[in-house]
């Protein structure tokens, strides 16, 4: 009897999860037996069905976000066909997206990451019911890339339900035969990475940098403080996109994870991320928490302050890892000039810059418990937007000395850039990349240092 009761309870739980899935999504249908038994790893969608009637806008079931775990526990991650209902996403065909991007022409190529290439496109008014005319960015799945169907599904599930001014908007998606595409709002100013480390004029001013940092922090705080928390897991400058007003929006949720719930303190997962941004305890244990994102934010904030990459192999060995090289300086106002980007030419209020440096210092603590929550980071950084002062005032150094230091660093930067250019011409691509990647004009080799999975942790 006990065994029968346990089986019945398990079945009821599965039916409850499946009901929640079907309420928000149009269906989760298994493909044919031939596809399931073929033995390969390709995703083959199941048969299409008639459109499911959309629930009322105020339906209670839409109040609770569906987690990736809910989906994966009730549906196979292969032979999956997904039709979202009630999430304001538009379902496109490959033909429609090909037309929108002019056949994925090279002149519309924006860049490429672990999932695949991204192209600029445009949709006309009325192309889809309720879809306004707008520019879009279309991301195609590359079967030879480092990401696949799970990452595509994560993007659809998270961005299909999450809405915030500092998250990029997912317009729609395409799941047709073996094709997996994602359609986003187009962000004309590109990524923060391009503006910090490339030759994109003009140089980002102090106020713009700080505003970007605050916006990105608000995006992370929204994810962490949600009823069902989300851990972003891949916070870096290339994933922070900028709108025409240089407002930050987080993109690329393929590696995002549902945060721990109940009595759980962490999520155990294989280590994935980008070298230089991942928290040390996550790399060592595979235990993922919101404080892992806080560490990554600290790395990005230090990049914003210094104008230097998290990892730069072209620099002298002692300077290659930014956090190791500069973290100790962040709490010392006497060394602020050594931290700040020479490209700013001293045009920043030293008081605000030092307080921002202290925020970065705390975020980069080796102890996760010593790091602040992202909501606290927002509270500490946002008031700095109103701080003004003598732009040439550098604590502990006379203005002339600060200017000389900046000049020396600019001269060193020029020499190092020349060395990097020579090195890039002679260095082979990473052996992890089996297929050569295209690069948009001005993009460096480092842009393609993406996700490096380690062995699963116990």
> How much is the pLDDT for 47?
33
Catalytic residues: 234
Domains in the chain (CATH in brackets) are: 86-186 (3.30.200.20), 192-448 (1.10.510.10)
Pinpoint the alpha helices (H) of 40-148.
68-74, 94-100
Residues 6+ apart with CB under 8 A from 413: 342
Produce one character per residue of 311-345: b if its CB has 16 or more CB atoms within 10 Å, e if not.
Answer: bbebbeeeebbbbebbbebbeebebbbebbbbebb
pLDDT at 141: 81
Residuewise pLDDT in 10s, the chain (458 residues): 555 555 655 555 555 444 444 433 433 322 223 333 333 333 333 333 333 334 333 333 335 666 666 665 555 433 333 444 446 788 899 999 999 999 999 999 998 877 788 999 999 987 888 888 999 999 988 766 556 677 788 788 888 888 899 999 999 998 888 888 999 999 999 999 999 998 677 899 999 999 999 999 999 999 999 888 899 988 999 999 999 999 999 998 888 887 776 555 556 566 666 889 999 998 888 888 999 999 999 999 999 999 999 999 999 999 999 999 999 999 999 999 999 999 999 999 999 999 999 999 999 999 999 999 999 999 999 999 998 764 433 333 334 344 444 555 555 555 455 544 444 444 333 333 333 445 444 443 333 333 333 444 43
- List phi, psi (to 5°) of 184: -115, 165
In DSSP terms, which residues pair with 327 in a beta bridge? none
Q: What is the pTM (predicted TM-score) of this model?
A: 0.71
**What tokens does 225 get?**
């403080």
Supply the pLDDT for residue 256. Answer: 83
């Amino acid at each position: 009897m006990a065994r029968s009761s346990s089986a019945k309870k398990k079945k009821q739980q599965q039916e409850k999860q499946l009901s929640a899935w079907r309420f928000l999504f149009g269906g989760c249908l298994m493909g044919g037996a031939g596809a399931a038994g073929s033995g390969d790893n390709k995703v083959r969608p199941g048969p299409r069905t008639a459109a499911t009637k959309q629930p009322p806008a105020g339906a209670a079931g839409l109040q609770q976000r569906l987690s990736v775990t809910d989906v994966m526990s009730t549906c196979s991650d292969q032979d999956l066909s997904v039709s979202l209902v009630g999430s304001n996403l538009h379902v496109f065909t490959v033909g429609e997206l090909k037309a929108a991007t002019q056949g994925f022409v090279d002149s519309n190529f924006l860049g490429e990451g672990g999932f695949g290439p991204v192209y600029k496109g445009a949709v006309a008014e009325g192309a889809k019911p309720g879809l306004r005319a707008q520019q879009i960015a279309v991301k195609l799945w590359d079967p030879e890339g480092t990401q696949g169907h799970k990452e595509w599904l994560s993007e659809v599930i998270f961005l299909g339900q999450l809405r915030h001014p500092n998250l990029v908007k997912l317009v729609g998606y395409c799941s047709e035969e073996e094709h997996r595409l994602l359609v986003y709002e187009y962000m004309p100013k590109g990524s923060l990475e391009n503006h910090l480390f490339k030759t994109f004029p003009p140089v980002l001013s102090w106020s713009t940098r700080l505003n970007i940092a605050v916006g990105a922090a608000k995006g992370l705080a929204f994810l962490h403080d949600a009823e069902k928390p989300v851990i972003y897991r891949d916070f870096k400058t290339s994933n922070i996109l900028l709108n025409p007003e240089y407002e930050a929006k987080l993109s690329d949720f393929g590696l995002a994870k549902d945060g721990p719930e109940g009595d759980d303190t962490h999520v155990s997962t294989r280590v994935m991320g980008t070298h230089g941004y991942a928290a040390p305890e996550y790399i060592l244990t595979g235990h993922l928490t919101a404080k892992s994102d806080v560490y990554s934010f600290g790395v990005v904030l230090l990049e914003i302050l210094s104008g230097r990459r998290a990892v730069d192999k072209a620099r002298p060995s002692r300077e290659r890892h930014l956090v190791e090289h500069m973290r100790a300086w962040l709490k010392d106002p006497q060394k602020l000039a050594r931290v700040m980007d020479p490209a700013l030419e001293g045009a920043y209020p030293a008081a605000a810059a030092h307080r921002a440096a202290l925020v970065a210092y705390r975020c980069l603590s080796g102890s996760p418990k010593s790091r602040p929550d992202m909501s606290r980071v927002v509270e500490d950084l946002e008031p700095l937007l109103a701080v003004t002062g003598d732009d040439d005032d550098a604590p502990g150094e006379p203005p002339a000395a600060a200017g000389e230091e900046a000049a020396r660093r600019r001269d060193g930067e020029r020499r190092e850039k020349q060395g990097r250019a020579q090195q890039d011409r002679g260095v082979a691509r990473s052996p992890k990349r089996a297929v050569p990647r295209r690069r948009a004009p001005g993009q460096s080799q480092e842009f393609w240092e993406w996700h490096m999975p380690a062995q699963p942790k116990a």
